[in-house]
Amino acid sequence: MMLSEYAGRLQAKLKRPVSMNEAIKHLAHQQREPQRISDLAGSWRVSDEEVEEIREGLRRVWERWTPKQYA
């Protein structure tokens, strides 16, 4: 099941909007044994354009970020 499908089912169950972050947190907490976020790799299908948008957003954030010890 894709993450977006899971989020949709969770939204129907909770009867309110659910973000992808909330769906990921819910998935992580329902597992009996500890899971890593990397275990979800490949479960989220995105287009090349969406990947580029994510990379561009990360690049912009990384340009502005400075460690607290140097701020």
pLDDT digits (tens, 9 = 90+) for 6-40: 899 999 999 999 998 999 888 878 766 666 777 77
C-alpha–C-alpha distance, residues 57 and 59, integer Å: 5
Average pLDDT estimate for 36-65: 85
Whether the pLDDT of residue 48 is over 60: the answer is yes
Domain that holds residue 35: 3-70
Output the pTM of the full model.
0.43
What is the separation of C-alpha 51 from the centre of its chain, rounded to a whole number of angstroms?
A: 13
C-alpha–C-alpha distance, residues 60 and 19, integer Å: 22
Catalogue the E-assigned strands of the chain. none
The count of structural domains within the chain is: 1
